[in-house]
Structure 1
Amino acid sequence: MKILEQLEQQLASLGPLAVAVSGGVDSMTLAVVAHRVNPQVEIFHAVSAAVPRQATARVKQYAKREQWRLNIINAGEINDPDYLANPANRCYFCKTNLYDTVVSQTDHLVLSGANLDDLGDYRPGLDAAKEHQVKHPYVDAGIDKATLRAIAKHLSLTDLYDLPAAPCLASRIETGIAINPELLPVINETEQALWDRLQLSLPIKGIRCRLRKSGVAIELQTSEDIDTSADYALEATKIVSDRFTSHGFAKYTAHITIEPYRRGSAFLVETLTVE
């Protein structure tokens, strides 16, 4: 696979490396390739209330299988008032805390799993990466999301190449609503319960449980029309209400909706300040 060979050659030319992995297909595939090129590469994974436990479990599984030099870190973004305020550039503060922590623990060149497609979005985390001299091998090699998934498939990473996107749990909170670290694991737990129930009734590719000023929105990524009067929809609403209430967040459940999935719908671009 020519593009993989080009990526490997690029990585081999960079010297001692460290890869920041989230547990998603982008950074995990990069870590696999980088480690096979240079077994001395250091792998960093940050854990916090915003990181789905499934992602951390995946990282640990791969670390054992691939014999990574894995460093589990706490980047401390949950203690950052700027992050908790949940502004439009929240990701900048998250990545700043992450890279501050990583570069304090290694003198290796830090790599991220950002790909070519990411350059077309508003990604304040890329500003933090630039400030910390983080390199993006996929971008430099002209690799987009589809291509990196093809690389993962070529490498027989069967549990990665078609892995659905799973951004941090803070992305479920509408811009401007303060991040409550105690709520994030509840959202993750609720999404898992919704998945377990709804996959029995719908061909689902993804679920998001989003907190908005108006209440809770259940977003379903499915090829079928959503019938909000169907039994599965009523059960989904009950799952959200029960989970939130049992953890002390009943105040958010007065208005629960079921809607088609919209990528990044909790991000309100109009809150950006133009200078």
Structure 2
Amino acid sequence: MDGPPTAELGGEAALRERVRAVGRLLVAYSGGVDSALLAVVAAQELGTGAVAVTAVSASLPHSERVAARAFARAHGVSHVEVCTDELDRPEYAANDGDRCYHCKSALLDVLTPLAALSGARIALGTTCDDLGDHRPGQRAAAARGAIAPLVEAGLGKADVRRISAGLGLGTADKPAAACLSSRVAYGEPVTVEVLGRIERAEDAVRALGFAVCRVRSHGDGSVARIEVPAADVPRAADLRRELDAAVRAAGFAFCALDLQGFASGRMNVLLGLPALR
């Protein structure tokens, strides 16, 4: 990351100062809490000098794509979508511990020429809290010269939610989200078919009243492991027949409920790394 440190300005002021200092930005925008705040602040500070770019592939849930579009329109953010080819890359589909590196590389392969044409820098919604997680994509971003204004402003995820609430952004209390590929057990192939199965299953679980959930795929796509917040596990157990029927209808052969409850990065345990809470 380049440029003078701005964290001493504190929170939102530091973020705005850093964005203004860059001048033109392409924001990698998934519609999640972090990238949504960055996109809005960039639009407010830079006007037409900021564009939010959403990567579209089978790993992006349709509901997230629709929500990202609507949010950008509502907040006057210039927004474009680009297609990325990560699923066509054997190293990504192999789904080893560096899958996110290959995903970010695919995104940056598309964004880099766009940034060069417009004289912009590529900005990611990485926060300080992300730096301690297993995120190989950060290596790909650093190698391509992408910047992380939220990190440079010293912001963690709680800060992002607090600032978002102060700005009246609906994403302030949006549940954490991740690409559908993060639900596939490491070492098992990522395919369009498996991702579609996961998306259908998660839509069905949410329809049963579990707004926060993950459907993790194991056994080469035959076993679905449902995660809901720990407080919701007893209710999920009571609805086990409905959940089982919904997940099977989505294409899985077996359905299991994780008794530990939801935690981001639970697949990391397969790499010998801790999950996040």
TM-score class normalised by the smaller sequence? 0.7 to 0.9
Instruction: Give the whole-Å Cα distance in 2 for the aligned partners of 1:42 and 1:229.
Output: 44
Q: How does 1:8-157 map to 2 (within 5 A)?
A: 8-40=16-48, 41-107=50-116, 108-157=120-169
Of 86-95 and 261-270, deviating more is 261-270
Question: How far did 1:227 drift?
Answer: 6.2
Of 49-58 and 143-152, deviating more is 49-58
Is contact 1:170-1:184 (8 Å) kept? yes
Cα distance, 1:225–1:52 mapped onto 2, change above 3 Å:
closer
Is contact 2:86-2:103 (8 Å) kept? yes
Question: How far did 1:59 drift?
Answer: 1.8
Question: How far did 1:95 drift?
Answer: 0.2
The counterpart of 1:235, out of the listed 217, 237, 242, is 242
Cα distance, 1:206–1:228 mapped onto 2, change above 3 Å:
closer
The residue aligned with 1:248 is: none
Instruction: Give the whole-Å Cα distance in 2 for the aligned partners of 1:164 and 1:67.
Output: 23
Query: How many residues get paired?
Result: 256
The counterpart of 2:199, out of the listed 167, 188, 194, is 188
Instruction: Give the whole-Å Cα distance in 1 for the aligned partners of 2:125 and 2:237.
Output: 41
Alignment-mate amino acid for residue 173 of structure 2: D
Cα distance, 1:227–1:101 mapped onto 2, change above 3 Å:
same
Partner SS state of residue 237, structure 1: helix
Question: How far did 1:205 drift?
Answer: 5.3
Instruction: Give the whole-Å Cα distance in 2 for the aligned partners of 1:97 and 1:221.
Output: 32
Can you list the C-alpha shifts for 1:94-133, whole angstroms capped at 9, x where unaligned? 0000011001222211100000000011110000100110
Can you list the C-alpha shifts for 1:156-210, whole angstroms capped at 9, x where unaligned? 01x200000110000110000000112212311211111111x2xxxx4511111
Percent same amino acid among aligned pairs?
30
The counterpart of 2:217, out of the listed 211, 216, 229, is 211
Instruction: Give the whole-Å Cα distance in 2 for the aligned partners of 1:62 and 1:220.
Output: 26
Unaligned runs of 5+ in 2: 1-8
Is contact 2:180-2:199 (8 Å) kept? yes
Alignment-mate amino acid for residue 103 of structure 1: T
The residue aligned with 2:177 is: 166
Instruction: Give the whole-Å Cα distance in 1 for the aligned partners of 2:237 and 2:67.
Output: 36
Instruction: Give the whole-Å Cα distance in 2 for the aligned partners of 1:270 and 1:90.
Output: 16
Question: How far did 1:63 drift?
Answer: 2.6
Partner SS state of residue 228, structure 2: strand
The structure richer in helix per residue is 2
Partner SS state of residue 247, structure 2: helix
Is contact 1:117-1:145 (8 Å) kept? yes
Alignment-mate amino acid for residue 129 of structure 2: D
Is contact 2:227-2:262 (8 Å) kept? yes
- Give the TM-score normalised by the residue count of structure 2: 0.87
Instruction: Give the whole-Å Cα distance in 1 for the aligned partners of 2:179 and 2:226.
Output: 17
Of 68-77 and 86-95, deviating more is 68-77
Instruction: Give the whole-Å Cα distance in 1 for the aligned partners of 2:227 and 2:10.
Output: 38
Instruction: Give the whole-Å Cα distance in 2 for the aligned partners of 1:148 and 1:68.
Output: 18
Is contact 2:31-2:71 (8 Å) kept? no
